[in-house]
Amino acid sequence: MAAKIEQFEAPRRQFQEANKHLQEKITENIRKALQSSSKVKTASKIHLMRIKQKALGPKSVSSSDRVYFSIKKPLNLEPKKVEIIENINNIKPIESVTLDPELKDTVPVFISTKWSLGRAIDSICDSCNIKNENNKAGNTKLRLFRQLDGYCISPLKMDVDISELLSKEVLLEGDKLVIEYIDSKVISSLHETAQIFLVE
């Protein structure tokens, strides 16, 4: 019996390891580009300060648990095009990064570090007045992306904790994030190890 369980569990573990490695490589790619510029670091600090001054979110979240981002809202309800990356060798290195500290065209928000990603998306939608039907069967689902590289934050796993994403630097406080509608068929067809990026 144990041998049969291991027969099924071993491939799942391999998938999870491959997915973790791919996600880490993508995050390393963007963070290296960010850290290479002192101008970017300064812009990030200014940006975060401005977010905190105007951020929207549930007052029930204690100040010690709050983490701040600026959110770019969807322009319409149409699903956006995405690029699916399954091979680590297909990740393009980022040559340079520009970070605009202005809050133009974004909504400053805060969420709780204790929430899951799914709950955070729900709260962001409430704060930004975005139509959210992620809990219903439909043609589209909302997903969260980093604006700098278009990387989708955990496209399949909505129960991942915000604190975990922060500790792994998948998210950094003050990030500009994009929330967009994605075709439900694209998400349901994703391989466990796949990652997706917004296509401009």
Lowest mean pLDDT, pick from 23-27, 125-129, 135-139: 23-27
Instruction: Answer yes or no: is pLDDT of 11 > 80.
Output: no
User: Any idea which of 4-13, 169-178, 189-198 has the lowest mean pLDDT?
Assistant: 4-13
Q: How many residues does the chain have?
A: 200
Across residues 32-42, what is the average pLDDT?
58
Q: Which of 83, 77, 71, 79 is nearest to 26 (CA)?
A: 83
pLDDT above 70 (res 36): no
Q: In this predicted model, what pLDDT tens digit does every residue of 170-194 receive, in sequence order? A: 888 888 899 999 999 999 988 877 8
The rounded distance, in Å, linking the Cα atoms of 18 and 193 is 6
The reported pTM is 0.78
Q: What is the DSSP string of 168-200?
A: TTSS-TT-EEEEEEEEHHHHHT--TT-EEEE--
User: What residue has token string 């520009």?
Assistant: 98
Confidence of residue 85 (pLDDT cuts 50, 70, 90): confident
CATH of 2-198 among 3.30.70.20, 3.40.50.300, 3.10.20.90, 3.40.1350.10:
3.10.20.90
